[in-house]
Amino acid sequence: MDKFALLVGVSQCEREDLPPLRRARTNVEVLKRSLQSPHTGFEIQTLSDAPLGVMAETIERFFRHRDGDDQVFFLYSGYVFQDIDQQLYLSTPTTTIDDWGQLVRAKTIPFHFLLNVMDASPAWRQVIIFDACFRLTAGIQPDDPEVSMEKELNLMIGDRRVILSASTQTQHVPDPEGLDAWSYTRYLAEGTATGAADTDGDGCLTVKELHHYAQRKLQIAVPSQQPQFFGSEATANQMLLQVPSQTPTVKYRQFLEMLTETGEIDQREFRLLTGRNRLHAFRQHLGITPAEADEIEFEVLRPFREHDQRKQLFQEYFARLTEGNYESE
């Protein structure tokens, strides 16, 4: 069995009223680095802000030129639009909205194109990730400000395919400027690179373990965001890759992750308050230096710092809107 990954990021579109998604390029790069580790065994292709024709052809070739026992791993990070036909469309760098507020579909990649090439692929094991900003075009007038895309994503699953989505809700309020936050994909990459997502410590990381790791991290940082998993339990519990779960630093990180789930966090200095004696004893047992332990704790508690930063920046953002001194994007 061979493993192949295609990571696609679209960080900008032609329309000025569509803020750049700088995280799209970052998502591609960090996930590429985590999958390049020798133990993963992936052959990796990346596309960042590639032309429409190149994107479509690369995606088609990627799924078509596979064997039945191959494992494929596909990431799309960028805007996804739902138009007045209720269908979803992946953005490209030339994607635009016309003067009537309707999507110019010729400058997008329709979801049904992606579904067709996935269904036609011989590869039996497919992991598909959407770290996307879902948007409605102006022709749709929803009753609620947020609309769920769960129905559309459910249509893509099958016996051999698992879909992971960073969110299932439309998003029309941009992230505030100055927000230094990690994405669902970056937490997937962290769980892969560090081995921390391997919760049972068997060295075999499954899709489900990886999703649950990133989901837990992201929901601490952004409680309103609900990453979802779609697909069969059997497929999700198959091994995706091997990780170095038996090293002292990974064991310490996993123990610290467990403590943070139930322990009290200092909200000013962002340190774990409970279980310090147990943590200190375990660090000594593993032979980890205090500096290494502090670095791991800083990384593990990142979502708590992000939550605090996001809360402060959004308060400032909405205060400016209320005062009429901030021009909404």
Enumerate residues 6+ apart whose C-beta is below 8 A from 285: none
In a domain, 84, yes or no: yes
Q: What is the CATH number of the domain that holds 52?
A: 3.40.50.1460
φ/ψ of residue 228, rounded to 5: -125, 155
In a domain, 120, yes or no: yes
Same domain for 295 and 165: no
Q: pLDDT tens across 212-264, in order?
A: 999 999 999 888 888 999 988 888 888 888 877 778 999 999 899 888 888 88
In a domain, 279, yes or no: yes
Tokens 């979803």 sit on residue: 88
Enumerate residues 6+ apart whose C-beta is below 8 A from 173: none
Domains of the chain: total: 2
Mean confidence (pLDDT) of the chain: 87
Q: Flag the least confident range among 99-113, 155-169, 259-273.
A: 259-273
Same domain for 102 and 38: yes
Q: Note the pTM of the prediction, 2 decimals.
A: 0.88
The residue among 214 and 201 whose pLDDT is bigger is 214
In a domain, 19, yes or no: yes
In a domain, 225, yes or no: yes
pLDDT of 305 > 60? The answer is yes
Q: How confident is the model at residue 329 (pLDDT cuts 50, 70, 90)?
A: very low
Give the per-residue pLDDT at 246: 79
Q: Which two tokens stand for residue 308?
A: 């605090």
Same domain for 141 and 284: no
- H-only helix segments in the chain: 22-35, 52-64, 111-120, 150-154, 184-194, 207-221, 233-236, 248-262, 276-286, 290-300, 302-323
Same domain for 234 and 301: no
pLDDT of 142 > 60? The answer is no
Same domain for 264 and 237: no
Same domain for 202 and 106: yes
Same domain for 178 and 264: no
**Domain boundaries, position 12:** 3-245
Using alpha carbons, select from 194, 40, 222 the residue that is nearest to residue 127: 40
Q: pLDDT tens across 26-82, in order?
A: 999 999 999 987 778 899 999 999 999 999 999 999 999 999 999 999 999 999 999
In a domain, 319, yes or no: no
Give the per-residue pLDDT at 172: 62
Same domain for 218 and 175: yes
Same domain for 160 and 26: yes
In a domain, 312, yes or no: no
In a domain, 313, yes or no: no
The residue among 240 and 322 whose pLDDT is bigger is 240
Q: Is 86 helix (H, G, I), strand (E, B) or coil?
A: coil
